[in-house]
Amino acid sequence: MSQYRFAGIDVSAKTLAVSYEPRPGKTQAFEVPNNPQGHRELCGKLSSSTPIQVCLEATGNYSLDVALALYQHGIPVMVLNPRAARDFAKALQNRSKTDAVDAQVLLEYAKRMEFQPWLPPDGSLLQLRDLSRRIKALTRQATQEKNRLEAASCCQGLSPAVRKDIESHLRYLERSIDKLLRQAFKLIDQQPALDKARQHLISIKGVGQISAVHLMAELLLLPSDMTARQWVAYAGLDPRHHESGSSIHKPTQISRTGNAQLRETLFMPALTASRAEPHVKAFYEKLQQRGKTRMQALVAIMRKLLHSIHGMLKNQEDFQGQKFFVLETKAT
């Protein structure tokens, strides 16, 4: 009889589906929100005097926060590569695909396979993510205040006190953003590996210092064995087809089920690169010649940029336009 209890957790953006074996032969299933309160509830249910081993699938920052909560609570956790989870499910001849079924598959993996405990990433990467996300939140607030101020300029009856308060709040937000950016730059400067990654990123015409901070914060925390396609799926940029019978054929759209922070960060670099980087611009124009809309072409650039960044960081190299898209040579 095993000395351990086991649990499998299927992680999604909003919920955690848990398949839990408190003792051999008895399985319990429950669900908690994927937020700090839900993490506390999860740790409370899994805690016991009997040792436990937990298995979950790597889904970027969604699984990272869960793994951190379990680790800090003293609960050993194994974070599984998505490909390994799929292969194991196939070996079990599992044809169903639901959160509860996926959690049960991960439970079986924890029971049958060698347990490889997960260790949290370097603290500097977690700090960078926190700084980046706070900067983004404050930037959104600043944009809202700028819009209010612009709207107020068209309103003759606006109270001077309200206008003054908006201007004061806007100055406060801008000072806070500047302060946090300086802290993020200092953190990167102090870490040679982070500085090198930044230099590779800003070699892309369209990625500036601030965009590099946000990209690093979201990407460098991902498991090193994730593929470029898994990055794309994690960002929610993978295409989703919708067909039903012979009559419903909706246009293909991106799934939008991944990291919205990463999608948001990629948009402006893609837009700028489509104008400033010759190879990206040529790719953009080629897509439009094929009938793609402006937004469809930009999404394709975002997806292709993510593939490029994956290769750049893996191979420690700067952006190479010819690898992104080969320019057509005119016949003489």
Query: Of 3.30.420.40, 3.40.50.300, 3.40.1710.10, 3.40.50.11540, which CATH number belongs to 5-112?
Result: 3.30.420.40
What pLDDT does residue 95 have?
65
For the entire predicted model, the pTM comes to 0.78
Give the mean pLDDT of 297-324: 96
Domains in the chain: boundaries: 5-112, 123-190, 217-324
List all residues 6 or more positions away from 175 whose beta carbon is below 8 Å from its beta carbon.
none
| pLDDT tens readout for residues 100-118 | 888 999 999 999 999 999 9
Sign of CA dihedral 132, 136, 139, 145: negative
Residue 139 has pLDDT above 90, yes or no: yes
Mean pLDDT value across residues 315-323: 96
Which pLDDT score is estimated for 177?
Answer: 98
pLDDT, greater one: 120 or 330: 120
pLDDT for position 1:
47
CA distances from 175 to 22, 119, 179, 188, 212 (A): 52, 36, 6, 20, 20
Q: What region, left, alpha or beta, does residue 256 occupy, with left being phi > 0 and alpha being psi -120 to 50 degrees? A: left
Whether 214 shows a pLDDT value over 80: the answer reads: yes
Residue 243: predicted pLDDT: 42
Digit-coded pLDDT (tens) for 263-292: 999 999 999 999 999 999 999 999 999 999
Of residues 195 and 329, more confidently modeled? 195
